[in-house]
Structure formats: structure tokens, C-alpha cells
Structure 1
Amino acid sequence: MQFTVLGSGAGLPSKKRHTQSYVLDSVDEINQYIMIDAGEALQHRILHTGIKPSKVRNIFITHLHGDHIYGLPGFLSSRAHQGGEDVPLTVYGPRGLAQWLEVTFEISGSRLNYPLEIIEITHGECIEMDGFKVHVHLLDHNIDSFLYVFDENDKKGALDPEKLKRIGLEPGPAYARIKNAETFEFNGETYHTADFTGPDITGRKIAVHGDTRVITTPEYMSLLDGSDLIVHEGTYLDGEREKAHRYFHSEITDVLENFKSINYGSLLITHLSNRYEDGFLDELEAKLPSNVYITHDFFEHPISRNSQGNK
């Protein structure tokens, strides 16, 4: 599983940073990509990757500001001509998303050749999809903006072939049947599969924020605790805490201070103002903890338990 930042900039795009779009690559786990936000020029960003639009089956929109949604109609339309025919897609997002897309498609005369479902989400709900439970939490922004926490389902532990060999059962097709059953029979005896498997594999937890001020409520902190990856905005990176608060955004020092009370694997800082030069960002990142990363367009981060990504 891997997290890719297609656009890392805030508000206005720059020559080096496009606006917000992320992809959670879960092809190895559930044979699909999960997209979070769809900033302007999303189609062009994807052309520079190996991502197949037809394998994007679920899109999660954090909020309806333009830098997070202006690439969505174009992506949905082009997907229809990039292997997406008859391949269903679901888009989740705040109230108003369905109306905006419906009007956009109607006025532009756009037609899709695949089933599209638009689901408007609310604070506190839990969405169940292939391989994940997705928790929805309202953030603190000047319009409704949401955090999505992707909780990967736990998996059964691997079969222990040595234990199976001890009862005389050699490797073969029977192993697959045994793993998917609670009990199995061999040589007239009934066995419990759990006695021949390792411990369950705990699913990973990925928390992706929309735009927000720093939040300190117990409910929010509990939801983030134990995340293997947190993605959080850092529109302000140079100590302007009051300005960040005034404009409903976050300053990196406040974010880091807030997360000291929870356990997490890695933290990606994104949604960066285009006023920050590369030199400043390099100096800042050198001072950060080793599990905190200032992202850029096409930043890739493998996700595993207590993951440490590549800068």
C-alpha cells in the first residue's frame, strides 16, 4: 500500500506545485486506487504516473473549495474513455457535491458510460467499502471540511505449513480451502484452522485531512491515535499561528505540538503556500523529526506498520 501526493499546493497553483489531489494505492490489497480530492489539472498529474483511472473505484472529497474539486468533472469524464466503461465509481463528499456535479454535467452536455453514485456524507458516520471502514469527522474550516480515516480490515494470519506437515498434510490446493474455513477434516480427524495459523494481521490506519485549524478535542485525538500515516495541511510553516487561525488553516508548529500526545507512524505535511521557496523548505525539513515529511508533487510514501517513508 502506498500514498501518492499528486498535488501539494494550497489555493493557487504554482509552476512546481499543483493543488490538492492524493491517491491511496491499494491495488495489491483490493485491486483499486482510492482518490482523495481532485484539484485542477488532476488528469495531467495522472499522466505522469502509472495510475489507471479505471481502477479508481472510490473518490473522497474533503470539502468544496475549488482547489480540491475543480479537477473532478474532467477526471470523471475522461475516465469514461480510459477503460472505465461499465466500471462503477462512487464519489463521497459534503452536501452540495451532487448538485454541483449534476449541474456541471448537464450544462456541459457530458455523458458517462459507467454507473456513478454520489454520496453526501455527515460527521460521525462510518462508510464500509472493500477492505476498509472509513470514519468521517468534521474539521474546523470556513466551510464544511472533513477528515477521512481509512481503517484497513484485519486479515487472517498465515497458515503455518510446518504444523500442517506434522499431521501429515503436505502443501497443496487444500491449504487455500483450509485457510478460508473454521475447521477442516484430514484422515478422519477434525481440526480447528486457528490452531494452524499465526496471529491475525492488523490492518493499517490512514488519516487524511481536508483544510482545517488545529483541533484538540478528545474525540478527534482518539480517532487519530494509532494511525500509521497522518496527512495534514501546513499552509503556514513559519510561525504565523494567529494568521493561520484567522484564515481557518494550520501552522506546522501547532500541528506537531498537538500530535505529541498521540501515537502515529508518519506525518505528511501538505497544502503548502506557494510563497515558500525550496531553500526554506529544505532547511525546515532538516529540523523536523525523522517521521515528518514536507511533501511535494509526486511524493510517494509506502505504508506499513510504523512506516518510515522516503523523502
Structure 2
Amino acid sequence: MQLTVLGSGAGLPSKKRNTQSYILDAIDESNQYILIDAGEALQHQILHTNIKPSKIKNIFITHMHGDHIYGLPGFLSSRAHQGGENLPLTIYGPKGLKEWLKVTFEISCSRLNYPLNIIEVEHNTQIEIDKFKVDVHLLDHTIDSYLYVFREENKKGALNTEKLKEIGIKPGPIYADIKNSSVFEYEGISYNTEDFIGPEIKGRKISIHGDTRIVSDSEYLSLIDSSDLIVHEATYLDNENEKAHQYFHSEISGVLNNFNDISYGHLLLSHLSNRYEEEFLLRLDGELPPNVYLAHDFFQLPILHNSQGSK
């Protein structure tokens, strides 16, 4: 599993940064891509990747500001002609999303050739999609803006092949049959498969924020604690904490300080203002802890279990 950044900028695009969109690549886990937010020019950004629009089965919109949704109608229309015919798509997002898309499609006379399901979420909504459970948490912004916490389901532990060899079973297709069984028989003796399976593998946890002021209440911090990846906005990068608070956004030092007492594998700071020069961003990125990154367009980050990474 990995996260790909299709847009890392805040508000206005720049020559090097599109507005916010992310792809959670769960092809190996559930044969799908999950899209989070749909900034303007989303279609064009996807053309620079190997992502197949038809494999996007679920979309999560954090909030209804234009830099997070203006790419959505175009993407939905194009998906219909990019292998998406008859392949259902579900969109989750704030109240108003359904009406906005309905009006957009009616006025533009757009038609889709696949089932589209739009589900409007609220604070503490819990969602289940293939291989994931998703928690929804309301953040602190000028309009309703949400955090989505993706929890991958736990996986069966690894097969203890050495233990199988000890009872005389040599490697081969039988190993897969054994792992998928509850009881197996060998040379007239029955065995419980669980005796040959290692500990359950805990699913990964990915917390992706919409625009927000820094939130520090215990319920919120407990929700994102032990995330393998946190994606959080850092619109301000130069100690303008008061200005960030005034405009309902976050400043980088405040984000880092807020997460001092929780555990996480990686932290990706995104939604960066276009007023910062790339030279400044590169220098700042080099000064961050080894498991903290500044996002840029087409940045890719493998999502590992909660362990420290390095740049």
C-alpha cells in the first residue's frame, strides 16, 4: 500500500503544485485505488501516473471548498470513457455534495454510464468498504471539513513452513491449501491449521485530514494515535501561528508540537501555500525529523506499519 500525492498546494495552484488530491493505492490489498479530494486538473495529474480511473472505486471528499472539489465533475465524466463503464463508484463527502453534483451534471447535460452512489457524512460516521473501516471526524475550519481514518482489516498470520516441514510436508501448492483451511490431514493425522499460523498481522492505519486549525482535544488525538501515516495540512510554514489560526489553517511547528505525545509512523505535511519558493521548501524538508515529509506533486510514500522511516 502507498500514498501518491496528485496535488499538494493550498488554495491556488502554482506552476509546480496542483491543488489537493491524494490516491491511496490499495491494489494489492483490495484491487482498488481510493481517491481523497479532487483538486482542479485532477484528470491531467492522473495522466502523469499509471493510475487507472476505472480502478478508483471509492472517493472521499474532505470538504466543499473549490480547491478540493473542482476536479471532480471532469474526472467522473472521463472515467465513463476510461474503462469505467458499468463499474460502480461511491463518493463520500459533506452535506451539499450530492446537490452540487446533481446541478452540475444537469446543467452540463452530462451522463454517466456507471452507477454512482453519493453518501453524505457527518461527525462520527463509520464507513465500511472492502478491506477497510473508515472513521469520520469533524475538524475546525470555516465550513464542515473532515478527517478520514482508514483502518485496514487485520490479516491472518504467516504460515510456519518450518513447522510443516517437521511433520514431513514439503513446500508446494499444498501450503496455500493448508493456510486457507481450518483443519488439514496428513498421513492419516488431523491437524488444526491455527497451530501452524503465526500471530495475526495488524492492519495499517492512515489518517488523512481536510483543511483545519490545529485540533488538540483528547478524542481527536486518541483517534489518530498509532497511525502508520498521518496526512495533515501545513498551509503556513514560517511561524505565523496567529495568522494560521485566524484563517482556520495550521502552521507547521504547531502541528509537530501537537503530535509530540502520540505515536505515528510517518507524517506528511501538505496543502502548502504557493507563496513559498521551492528552495525554501527543500531546505525546510531537510531540517525535519526523518519520518516527517513536506509533500510535493507526485510524491509517493509506501505505508509501512508504525515504524520510523527515513528520507
Gaps of at least 5 residues in structure 1 are: none
Q: Which residue of 2 aligns with 1:147?
A: 147
SS of the residue corresponding to residue 260 of structure 1 reads coil
| Cα distance, 1:309 vs structure 2 | 6.0
| Cα distance, 1:189 vs structure 2 | 2.5
Q: Which residue of 2 aligns with 1:242?
A: 242
Q: Which residue of 2 aligns with 1:120?
A: 120
Q: 1:53 to 1:224 in 2, by over 3 A?
A: same
Q: What letter matches 1:229 in structure 2?
A: L
SS of the residue corresponding to residue 135 of structure 1 reads strand
Contact 2:226 2:306 in 1 (8 A): no
User: Once the two structures are superposed, what CA deviation does each residue of 1:30-87 show, in whole Å capped at 9, x if it has no partner?
Assistant: 1111100000000000000000000001100000000000000100100000001111
SS of the residue corresponding to residue 283 of structure 1 reads helix
Q: What letter matches 2:211 in structure 1?
A: D
Q: Which residue of 1 aligns with 2:265?
A: 265
Structure 1 residues 229-308: aligned runs within 5 Å: 229-306=229-306
Q: Which moved more, 1:228-237 or 1:192-201?
A: 192-201
Q: Which residue of 2 aligns with 1:101?
A: 101
Contact 1:302 1:309 in 2 (8 A): no
Contact 1:90 1:116 in 2 (8 A): yes
Q: Which residue of 1 aligns with 2:28?
A: 28
| Cα distance, 1:227 vs structure 2 | 0.6
Contact 2:214 2:250 in 1 (8 A): yes
Q: Which residue of 2 aligns with 1:138?
A: 138
Q: Which residue of 1 aligns with 2:180?
A: 180
Contact 2:2 2:25 in 1 (8 A): yes
Q: Which residue of 2 aligns with 1:45?
A: 45
| Structure 2 Cα separation of the partners of residues 74 and 111 of structure 1 | 12
Contact 2:264 2:307 in 1 (8 A): no
SS of the residue corresponding to residue 260 of structure 2 reads helix
Contact 2:290 2:309 in 1 (8 A): no
SS of the residue corresponding to residue 128 of structure 1 reads strand
Q: What letter matches 2:168 in structure 1?
A: G
| Structure 2 Cα separation of the partners of residues 118 and 310 of structure 1 | 38
Q: 1:310 to 1:300 in 2, by over 3 A?
A: farther
Gaps of at least 5 residues in structure 2 are: none
RMSD of equivalent CA atoms: 1.3
| Cα distance, 1:156 vs structure 2 | 0.3
SS of the residue corresponding to residue 230 of structure 1 reads strand
| Structure 1 Cα separation of the partners of residues 227 and 154 of structure 2 | 14
Contact 2:225 2:264 in 1 (8 A): yes
| Cα distance, 1:283 vs structure 2 | 2.1
| Structure 2 Cα separation of the partners of residues 167 and 286 of structure 1 | 53
| Structure 2 Cα separation of the partners of residues 182 and 104 of structure 1 | 52
Contact 2:291 2:310 in 1 (8 A): no
Contact 1:301 1:310 in 2 (8 A): no
| Structure 1 Cα separation of the partners of residues 2 and 310 of structure 2 | 11
Q: What letter matches 1:175 in structure 2?
A: Y
Aligned pair count?
A: 311
| Cα distance, 1:204 vs structure 2 | 0.9
Q: What letter matches 1:296 in structure 2?
A: H
Structure 1 residues 212-223: aligned runs within 5 Å: 212-223=212-223
| Structure 1 Cα separation of the partners of residues 54 and 70 of structure 2 | 20
Q: What letter matches 1:122 in structure 2?
A: E
| Cα distance, 1:310 vs structure 2 | 7.1
Q: 1:84 to 1:67 in 2, by over 3 A?
A: same
Contact 1:300 1:310 in 2 (8 A): no
Q: What letter matches 1:62 in structure 2?
A: T
Q: 1:101 to 1:267 in 2, by over 3 A?
A: same
Q: What letter matches 1:298 in structure 2?
A: F
Contact 2:22 2:36 in 1 (8 A): yes
SS of the residue corresponding to residue 266 of structure 1 reads strand
| Cα distance, 1:175 vs structure 2 | 2.5
| Cα distance, 1:308 vs structure 2 | 5.7
| Structure 1 Cα separation of the partners of residues 169 and 213 of structure 2 | 58
SS of the residue corresponding to residue 99 of structure 1 reads helix
Q: 1:43 to 1:307 in 2, by over 3 A?
A: farther
Q: What letter matches 1:112 in structure 2?
A: L
Q: Which residue of 2 aligns with 1:57?
A: 57
